[in-house]
Structures are given as C-alpha cells and as structure tokens.
Structure 1
Amino acid sequence: MVRIIPMAASSIRPSLVCFSSSSPRFPVSYLSRNLSRTLHVPQSQLFGLNANKLLRRSVNCLGVAESGKAAQASTATSQDDLLTWVKNDKRRMLHVVYRVGDLDRTIKFYTECLGMKLLRKRDIPEEKYTNAFLGYGPEDSHFVIELTYNYGVDKYDVGAGFGHFGIAVDDVAKTVELVKAKGGKVSREPGPVKGGKTVIAFIEDPDGYKFELLERGPTPEPLCQVMLRVGDLDRAIKFYEKAFGMELLRTRDNPEYKYTIAMMGYGPEDKFPVLELTYNYGVTEYDKGNAYAQIAIGTDDVYKTAEAIKLFGGKITREPGPLPGISTKITACLDPDGWKSVFVDNIGFLKELE
C-alpha cells in the first residue's frame, strides 16, 4: 500500500517555476486532473492553491516537455540520417602512411622482396620531408603505401599498438626464400595459421614493421590488411561501423592465446583491404610509438564526415577544409583508441593525382 502524504503549498512552489502561460492550450479540467496526479495532490485541493494561476503556469511546463520530446526526436532523426549518409558515402581506403629511416633502402626491399612498384615520389624541401608511394596498382584504384622520410631522422619507435600489414601472395614459401636471400628478417616460417588452413608467414622490413604473408589466389588488392590493437573491441567495432561506415566482416576469438580479432572494411576480404582490429585480453592501452602515422580514406564530403565522427565518439584533430596551397579538402580524426585517420575528398584526390 502506497501512502500519499499531502504537500504543503510552500513545498510545491519551487517545482512550478516553469509554469507560466497566458494562453492555455489545454482545458482546465484536463490540466487540473493531470496536475493533481503529477503533484500527488487531490484535485479538490488544487483550488486552495490558487488553481487558476497554478493551471496557467502548468501549460508552459507541458509545452516545454513537448518541445524536449520534439528535440529528442529531431536529434534521433538527424543521427539516423547521418548514419544512412555514411553508409551510402563512396568510401575507399586510399593509402596507409608511416615513417621510415632510409627511403631508398625501404623502396628497394619492397620492390625486390614484395613485388611492389614505386608509383611516385615527392620531395617537400621547405618542410624537410620526402614521400614515396608504393603498391600493386595505380593509386586511383588500389590501396597503397605512403612512406615518409623526414630529413635527418633515421630511426623510429614502432611501438606495441601497431600490429602488421598483410600482403596476399601466390606462394608464401617462395616469397620467404626471396626475403631471406635479400637479407630480410623472417620471424615466422611458412605454415598453416593456428586453428586454420591458410598458409602464412611473418617477415620484418628494415625498419621493423611486420608483414603477414597470406597465401591466396589472384586478388585485386594484394596489400590487404592493416592490423591495429585496441583496448575495447566492441567500442572500436561500433565506432568504425557508425563513424567510418565500415562493415564488420567477421570476428574470431582465440581463447588459447587470449585475443580476439575483428575484420572491418568496405567489402569482402578477398577483394578489398581491411582493418584488422585486435583485442588482447585485459589490455586496454598501448604505446603507439612514433613510426606508424595513419590511414587515408576517400569520401564525397569531408564536412559531413567530420559531423559523423564527432557524433559517434571520435575526435577531430583537423577541421574539414582545403589544404593550404591546393584545393583538396581533408579532415583528420582520432578513434577512441587514439589511432589517426584522414578523410580526403574524392574529387580533390583524383585531381591531385593528375
């Protein structure tokens, strides 16, 4: 049995600050009946509390409540609209950027051992750095590597957060022999992946970046994976689905080795590059070092992209807009684990390649 204690008039007034309206939109009987329920005061007692004044004031609170509900509905609608736009945006992983200590040495290793092609180089002497773009096909249709050499810096810390890059090859054993012949380091000999049949091997380039070699048939995207470690896998999956518009392709839990992976991307693994997120049981933070930089992704609208990133838990580190000196528009962000990504306007990117 619930006991309702009548409230004194003085105790009611503070809760009615917002009740003010000169043109009620609800009948007095409706208001008095509902107000008596809200305040736990018998309807007959309301008239001892200057009912006309009280009821007039109640109208505004009802209106405020309605406005609040409308605002919430509008926000929900805008979130849904933005989420739909993100899913329909023409997005593609363009390139992955990282720093190396000797540009010529790295180019030689990638072209001779991994079969990549040097697509282009650009030197920016006023800012004291040089870029080299390498991959298995032209930048306008393939995921490629952008190497950065900063004048005078010959060594970087790869850190513990970065995992590896994935390269699909026809024959893992043959590729490993070539890597050994060229003086490369093999950290895992060819063999089936634990718990599966796919033949893999791990090698390291001269700067200590790890590459997983995966034995696959012909694929349009041999540069097929970027693996990063995250501290909360569910949070990361939700972020990349909503803010980046990626699809969760699959997950795999390996309790024996205490880790779980999630493959995220814009299409199936055999045809598109993917982001491999790895969660190690109980590890919530990683040292990211200063070697790995970011992934660049194409978009039709950097401004809407920035809105979605903010809305779904990311941090904008460069507000959307054109780059100085050129018209290409970009925006940069951090995911909830602090991994950086840059979104590049699709039209501007193609013009820049020209």
Structure 2
Amino acid sequence: MAETLSAELLEFPNKDNRRLLHAVYRVGDLDRSIKFYTEAFGMKLLRKRDVPEEKYSNAFLGFGPEDSNFAVELTYNYGVDKYDIGTGFGHFAIATADVYKLAQDIKAKGGTITREAGPVKGGTSVIAFAKDPDGYLFELIERPNTPEPLCQVMLRVGDLDRSIKFYEKVAVSTSDVYKSAQVVNHVIQELGGKITRQAGPLPGLGTKIVSFLDPDGWKTFELKSSMCRVSLGVNLDVLVDHEDFLKELHNQE
C-alpha cells in the first residue's frame, strides 16, 4: 500500500502544470542595475517595490509580462553595496537574433564583454559573454525568433546525475502546493535536501508556498502555480501557488 502511494505521489510532477518564474539575486545598487538591464540588455522594468520595514527593495525585469515570461528579481538590501558571487553561480543566457549587435550595444552602455562575439570553438553557434555592474555573467546566444529571450540559468552542482534525478522528481512549480510538498519530502529522504518552510500561506499576502533546499543547497520557491523562483546565493527552493501569485501581481499594478 505504501509503495503504491509513493508511486502515485511521484507521478504528480509529471502531470503538474509548471514553469520557472523568477531568478532572485542581490545587487549593490538597484537603480544602477535597472538602468543597465533596460538600456544594455533591452529588458523591461515590470515592477518595483520598497519594503522599508524589512530594509530591502527589489525590482522585476524581463522581456515580457511575468504571467507568461521568465524574469529576474533583483534585490537590494539597505546599506549593502557589494556581494561575493562565489563559484556556484555560472551565468544567465539571453537569446538574440544578432549577438554582434547586442554585444556592441552593451559596450556602448558601459558594460563589459568578457568573451567577444563569434562562433563557439569547433561549432557554428555564435555567442558572447557580458558582465553586469555587479559581476554577474550573461551569455549571449544567437537564436532567431525565440519566444523567451531570457532562456537559461547555469548553476554548478556537486553531482549532476543526482541533481537531474532530484529535479525530475520534484515539481519546481505547482498547481497544488500541499501535494508538491509531500513529493519534495519523499524525494529529499532519498536524494538529500531539506524543507525550510512548510506548505502554507505567507503572512500578510496569503500566497501559498513551500520552500526547500536541493542537495546542493540551491534555493527555490514553489507556489501553487505553473511557476517557480530560483534564488541565487541563498540556497533554497520554494513552490508557489499560481492563482495566489497572480493576485499578488495584480494587486501591485
């Protein structure tokens, strides 16, 4: 009986409606980052908020609305103007029809190109690498007519097969936070990790989430949703309720 329940539970992520929602990371000057991301990368400022009681501000940027596009969530903590990025984070990737032009635009706006535009060694794909004002790397990939320009997040892990197995079994976003929390708990017992916040509504917002660490300590938020946040630098996973997220999003418009 227990084996049947476990099999049914682990099948849930394959049936769930899900997508990545945000990548969350910290910057030393929020206005500087907003200016660079909009002018150099061509992103749009989707929303911005200040939370003085918790001494932080954040801004959401991307190439389209959050209810259908991946976005970056930049967080500024009052009084902190610099961070050690460390070695775990690799880079983001932006797809563009013309890598050479985007690289030139980034240079013109004061950005640093760490790898000039050109074909990859031994191949034909055209790429470049750029660095934002805080030192985060962005790979520029030449792809025509891409539906989502903000197309990759590269993270380093200690055991690739284990990480693949973990994320295949865990719903990284969810239509049912409570059921997904059961899946996470089951998978953590097998592969490692830790639930850091039990499934339930956030105080003051009501958005239902569950948060957990993956085996390498990366941070993700799971909502009752087709969406997920990945936080860089604070290693945790969170699932978030999609309907609750949309309410939160529209309340801030």
**Normalized against structure 1, the TM-score is what?**
0.63
Match of 1:323 in 2: 202
Q: Partner of 2:225 in structure 1?
A: none
Which residue identity does 1:137 align to in structure 2? G
Q: Residue 305 of structure 1 aligns with which residue?
A: 180
Aligned equivalent of 1:266:
none
What is the identity percentage for the equivalent residue pairs of Structure 1 and Structure 2? 67
1:112 partnered with 2:8: no
- Equivalent residue runs for 1:91-170 within 5 Å: 91-170=18-97
SS of the residue corresponding to residue 194 of structure 1 reads coil
Distance 2:195 2:122 in 1: 39
For residues 75-86 of structure 1, what are the structure 2 equivalents within 5 Å? 75-86=2-13
Q: Report the residue type matching 2:30 in the other structure.
A: L
1:305 partner letter: S
Distance 1:327 1:223 in 2: 29
Deviation, 1:327, is: 1.2
Gaps of 5+ in 1: 1-73, 245-296
> In the alignment, what sits opposite 1:338?
217
Distance, in Å, in 2 between the alignment partners of 1:233 and 1:145 is 24
- Separation in 1, partners of 2:5, 2:194: 19
Q: Which amino acid aligns with 2:178?
A: Y
Q: How far apart, CA to CA, are the structure 1 residues paired with 2:166 and 2:25?
A: 23
Residues 81-133 of structure 1, C-alpha deviations (whole Å, 9 max, x = no match): 11211111111111110000000110011101111000110111111111101
Post-superposition offset of 1:195: 3.4
Secondary structure of 2:121's aligned partner: coil
Paired residue for 1:88? 15
C-alpha distance after superposition, 1:125-177 (max 9, x if no partner): 11111110100100111000111011111001100010000100111111111
Question: 1:181 offset after TM fit, Å?
Answer: 1.3
Check 1:79–1:103 CA distance in 2 against 1; reply closer, same or farther (3 A cut): same
- Counterpart position of 1:203: 130
Shift in Å, 1:194:
2.8
Q: Distance in 2 between matches of 1:197 and 1:81?
A: 44
How far apart, CA to CA, are the structure 1 residues paired with 2:97 and 2:39? 16
Who is 1:351 aligned against? Answer: 247
Greater CA drift, 80-89 or 223-232:
80-89
Q: State which of 183, 197, 202 in structure 1 corresponds to 2:110.
A: 183
Q: Secondary structure of the equivalent of 1:93? A: coil
**CA offsets per residue over residues 27-70 of structure 1, 9 Å max, x none?**
xxxxxxxxxxxxxxxxxxxxxxxxxxxxxxxxxxxxxxxxxxxx
Q: Which amino acid aligns with 2:183?
A: A
Higher relative contact order (CA 8 A, sep 6+): 2
TM superposition shift of 1:298: 3.5
The Cα RMSD (Å) is 1.0
Cross-structure match for 2:234: none
Q: Deviations over 1:179-219 (max 9, x none)?
A: 11111111111111233221000010000000000000111
Partner-residue secondary structure (3-state), 1:300 = coil
In the alignment, structure 2 segments of 5+ residues that lack a partner are 223-239
| TM-score for the superposition, normalised by structure 2 | 0.88
1:82 aligned counterpart, secondary structure: helix
Equivalents in 1 of 2:241, 2:123: separation in Å? Answer: 39
How many Å separate the matches in 2 of 1:243 and 1:75?
Answer: 19
Matching residue's letter, 1:310: N
Bigger Rg, structure 1 or 2: 1
Distance in 2 between residues matched to 1:209 and 1:148, nearest whole Å: 14
- Looking at structure 2, the residues matched to 307 and 194 of structure 1 have their Cα atoms a distance apart, in angstroms, of 45
State the alpha-carbon separation in 2 of the partners of residues 194 and 228 from structure 1.
Answer: 22
Q: CA deviation at 1:232?
A: 0.6
Aligned with 2:20: secondary structure? strand
Whole-angstrom CA distance in 2 between matches of 1:159 and 1:227: 14
